[in-house]
Amino acid sequence: MSEKQKKIWITGASSGIGKAVAEKFAKEGWKVAVSARRKELLDIMAKDSNIFSFPLDVTQKDQIAIVFKNIVKDFGDLDICLFSSGTYDPKTEQKIDPEKIKNVINVNFFGVVDCVKTVEDYFKSKKNGQISIVSSIASYRGLPNSSGYGPSKAALTNFTESIYFDFKKHNIKISLISPGFIQTPLTDKNDFSMPFLRSPEFAAQKIYKGLVNSNAFEIHFPKQLTLILKFLRILPYRIYLFLVDKLVKR
């Protein structure tokens, strides 16, 4: 008897990390539901026989419920939900702009929260599966010129840590993904040197391995960068602020 095909739903899948991860899972034989706002890009991806397009704007809560219902109806079940929707514009973060900050948090944080809430009862009732959330190393501590993106990811990381305990009671695995600098349409907007920049394919390989072959709560990469930032996270404010200020001025 052939092994049952496993299934995953990925949001933010039209470009960058989400797209690369979708293609990696499809290549490994998974049945992949991809969601994002840009239907035309999803339809191109869906030329792969293992990828299926389900357009979605994660800021529309009612739309999330409809899309999820359609995926379960078409797929029969889901093993993993990977929520990676996000937005970032460094040019708007040079100064405090409350409206733009609200938009970033609405997409990066509340969009994911609404997705998790939508799938909560489904996973808890079947008592298995995994929900994985893509945050960022920008969540570790406050960084320069990140008045919206950093706080949105910090909230997302804290949220993921918080729900871990409740979902564990129902045998649902919760995992956090914290990428460093990955070359995507979002990071292409940066006008500064990005240390240890890696390709989306590199990220996809790390995420696939972490989700399928590891029980770790956090999947973080590249380690050359993330371990440095994890060290900075435990430093007292006086030392941390001094070091970051020196690095920014270089």
CA–CA separation, 144 vs 127, rounded Å? 42
* 99 to 87, 105, 225: CA distances (angstroms): 14, 10, 31
Q: Is residue 222 part of a domain?
A: yes
pTM of the model: 0.93
What's residue 227's pLDDT?
95
Tell me if 56 sits within 8 A of 35, measured CB to CB: yes
pLDDT (tens digit, 9 = 90+) per residue, 115-145?
999 999 999 999 999 999 999 999 999 988 8
Residues forming a β-bridge with 177: 134, 219
* CATH code of 50's domain: 3.40.50.720
**Number of domain units in the chain:** 1
Count the neighbouring beta carbons within 10 Å of the beta carbon of residue 203: 26
Q: Is residue 226 part of a domain?
A: yes
Provide the pLDDT confidence category of residue 197 given band limits of 50, 70 and 90.
Answer: confident
What's residue 90's pLDDT?
74
> Is residue 249 over pLDDT 70?
no
> Is residue 109 over pLDDT 90?
yes
Residue type, 167: F
CA–CA separation, 176 vs 138, rounded Å? 13
> Is residue 1 over pLDDT 80?
no
Count the neighbouring beta carbons within 10 Å of the beta carbon of residue 117: 13
- Virtual CA dihedral for 31, 208, 11, 126, nearest 10 degrees? 60
Q: Is residue 239 part of a domain?
A: yes
What the block records as the tokens of 22 is 């979708």
The angle subtended at Cα 53 by Cα 133 and Cα 31, nearest 5°, is 70
Q: Is residue 141 part of a domain?
A: yes
* 51 to 42, 55, 78, 157, 181: CA distances (angstroms): 9, 13, 14, 28, 26
Q: Is residue 1 part of a domain?
A: no
Looking at residue 238, what DSSP letter applies? Answer: H
What's residue 83's pLDDT?
98
The pLDDT of 160-187, averaged and rounded, is 93
pLDDT (tens digit, 9 = 90+) per residue, 20-62?
999 999 999 999 999 999 999 999 999 999 999 999 999 999 9
Q: Which of 187, 207, 142, 196 is nearest to 8 (CA)?
A: 207
Helix axes 223-233, 237-249, angle to 10 degrees: 130
Report phi then psi at 151, rounded to 5: -60, -35
Q: Which domain holds residue 94?
A: 7-249
Q: Is residue 2 part of a domain?
A: no
